[in-house]
C-alpha cells in the first residue's frame, strides 16, 4: 500500500478527480470517441481463431460485463513443447479495466509471487510490460507467467491515471476514449519460465504491431 502525506492528499484527490471526470461526464455510454481507425480488424473472432492453435480460450465473464467491452483470444503453442500462451486483445470504454492490475480478471482471489513493470524495446519504441507470476500448484513446479500492455490515446502507457489526466481536457470535448489491453497468459513448468517470457514478449510486440496497423493513420 502506498502511504500519502496528509499535506499532499488534497492535491492528489483533485488530480484523481480530474482524471476520472470525462468518464463521469460521459457515463452511461454517451459521447464515446473511437480513436482506432479499424477496430474490427483487431476484434474479429474469426481472424483471431485462424491465427491461433486450437479452440480460442474463454474470456473472463467479469471482464465482459464491463460496459462496451469486446475481447478476442487465441492460443499460441510455446517452443519445444514447453506449454501454451493465451493472448487476449481487449477494448474497453470503461476505464475501470485498467484501474487495477488487469490480470486479476483472470486470477481473482489469488496473490502473485511477483509483480513488476519492465520496458520492452521494440522497433524503436518502448512498451511498458506489466508482468506477474503465479504459482499454480503451491509447490512451485508449474507457474503462470503473465504480461500485458495498456494502450490509451493511441500510446502504450505505464501510469493509467497520469495518461487519463493528460487526455482529460480533450476527452471532455471529443468523448471518452477506449483502453486497449494486449494481455498474454502462459502456463509452464517453472524451469521453462524464461521460454515463456520470451514468447510473451514476442506475442505482445506482434499484438502492438497489429494495433498500429489497424488503428494508427
**Predicted pLDDT of residue 163:** 82
Q: In terms of C-beta density within 10 A (0-12 exposed, 13-18 middle, 19 or more buried), how is residue 216 classed?
A: exposed
Distance set, CA 2 to CA 5, 74, 109, 165 (Å): 10, 36, 21, 20
Residues 6+ apart with CB under 8 A from 97: 63, 66, 69, 90, 179, 181
169-187 confidence digits (pLDDT tens): 776 777 888 999 999 999 9
Q: Report CA torsion sign: 103, 107, 108, 112.
A: negative
pLDDT grade for 53, boundaries at 50, 70 and 90: low
Q: How far is CA 105 from the centre of its chain?
A: 11
Confidence (pLDDT) at 148: 97
The residues facing 90 across adjacent strands are 71, 181
**Residue 93 pLDDT exceeds 80:** yes
pLDDT beyond 80 at 134: yes
pLDDT per residue as tens digits for the range 16-28: 554 455 444 445 5
Indicate if the pLDDT at residue 123 is higher than 80.
yes
Distances (CA, A) of 176 to 12, 37, 92, 139, 216: 22, 16, 11, 45, 18
Report the predicted TM-score, pTM, of the whole model to 2 decimal places: 0.82
Spatial contact of 176 and 35, defined as CB atoms under 8 Å apart: no
From 211, 31, 208, 34, select the one nearest 129 (Cα to Cα): 208
Across 106-143, b (16+ Cβ under 10 Å) vs e yields bbeeeebeeeeeeebebeeeebebbbbbbbeeeeeebb
Q: Write down all domains in the chain, each with its CATH number in brackets.
A: 34-158+176-215 (3.40.1000)
Tens digit of each residue's pLDDT (9 = 90 or more) over 56-88: 899 999 999 888 899 999 999 998 888 899 999
Q: Percent of the chain scored above 90 by pLDDT?
A: 53
Q: What percent of the chain has pLDDT over 70?
A: 82
Task: Check residue 2 and give its pLDDT.
Answer: 46
pLDDT in the model for residue 157: 94
Amino acid at each position: 500500500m502506498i502511504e500519502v502525506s496528509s499535506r499532499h492528499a488534497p492535491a492528489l484527490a483533485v488530480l484523481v478527480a480530474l482524471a476520472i471526470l470525462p468518464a463521469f461526464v460521459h457515463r452511461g455510454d454517451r459521447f464515446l470517441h473511437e480513436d482506432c481507425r479499424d477496430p474490427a480488424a483487431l476484434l474479429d473472432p474469426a481472424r483471431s481463431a485462424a491465427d491461433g492453435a486450437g479452440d480460442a480460450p474463454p474470456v473472463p465473464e467479469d471482464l465482459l460485463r464491463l460496459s462496451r467491452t469486446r475481447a478476442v483470444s487465441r492460443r499460441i503453442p510455446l517452443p519445444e513443447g514447453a506449454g501454451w500462451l493465451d493472448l487476449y486483445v481487449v477494448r474497453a470504454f470503461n476505464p475501470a479495466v485498467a484501474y487495477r492490475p488487469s490480470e486479476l480478471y483472470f486470477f481473482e482471489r489469488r496473490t502473485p509471487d511477483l509483480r513488476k513493470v519492465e520496458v520492452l524495446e521494440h522497433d524503436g519504441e518502448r512498451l511498458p510490460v506489466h508482468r506477474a507470476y503465479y504459482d499454480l500448484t503451491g509447490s512451485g513446479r508449474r507457474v503462470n507467467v503473465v504480461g500485458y500492455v495498456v494502450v490509451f490515446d493511441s500510446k502504450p502507457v505505464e501510469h493509467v491515471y497520469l495518461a487519463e489526466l493528460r487526455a482529460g481536457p480533450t476527452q471532455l470535448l471529443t468523448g471518452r476514449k477506449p483502453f486497449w489491453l494486449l494481455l498474454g497468459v502462459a502456463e509452464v513448468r517453472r524451469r521453462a519460465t524464461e521460454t515463456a517470457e520470451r514468447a510473451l514478449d514476442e506475442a505482445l510486440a506482434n499484438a502492438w504491431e497489429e494495433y498500429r496497423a489497424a488503428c494508427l493513420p
